[in-house]
Amino acid sequence: NDQFEIDIEFQLSTPFYLCLIDNSNQLSTLIQHLPPLVLTVHFHDQYPSSIYSPTFVLSSCFLSRKYLENMCQQLDKIWEQNISEPIVYQWIECLKEQFLSMNELCLSNKDINNDNDNDDPRAMSSYQPNRAAYVYEQLIEYNQIKEYEQFLHEYHECPICLSNNIP
C-alpha cells in the first residue's frame, strides 16, 4: 500500500491567539499547542518521475473547509513548480509556514463561506460553525493537556532542597 497518513505538528514558538466570535460576545485566549493537521498521501506507481502529483487529502478538526481548500491550492502550486520531484517534504513545510504565518485563529458561529459549488474533495474538515464554542473549548483543553505533558518532560528545581527533579 502506497498510502501514508502524516500528522503535521505545529511548533508554535510564541503564543497564538485563539478567538471565538459568536452572536453575543467575543472571547480570546493565548494558546501554544494545536492538534495536528493530517495529510494523507497516496503515491501512484510512477511517483516521483511522473507529471502526476501524488493524490492527497488534508483534514482538520478545527480549520474551516475553505481554509483547507486554500491550502490544497497552495500544495497544487508547489507541485506545478516541482513536477517529477519528491514533493511531500515541501508540502509539509508549506503547510507549517502557511499556518504559522497567522497570529490568530478565529472561530465563528457564522458560516461566512457557504459556496458549495467549488468544494475541493481533498479538503476534509469536521469543523462546523454552529459548534464553534465547543471547538473553542476543546482547543483550550488540548492546549492545557499539552502544556502539562511539556511540564512533565522538563527539569524543575525544588525551591526547598534546591535539587533538580523530574515531576
For residue 76, the tally of other CB atoms under 10 A from its CB is 15
pLDDT tens over the chain, length 167 residues: 688 999 999 877 788 899 998 877 899 999 999 999 999 999 988 887 778 889 999 999 999 899 999 999 999 999 999 888 899 999 999 999 888 777 888 898 876 555 555 689 999 998 888 889 999 999 999 999 999 998 888 877 777 776 766 55
Report the phi/psi class of residue 3: left, alpha or beta, with left for phi > 0 and alpha for psi in -120 to 50.
beta
pTM as predicted: 0.83
Q: Distance from first CA to last CA of the chain, Å, rounded? A: 42
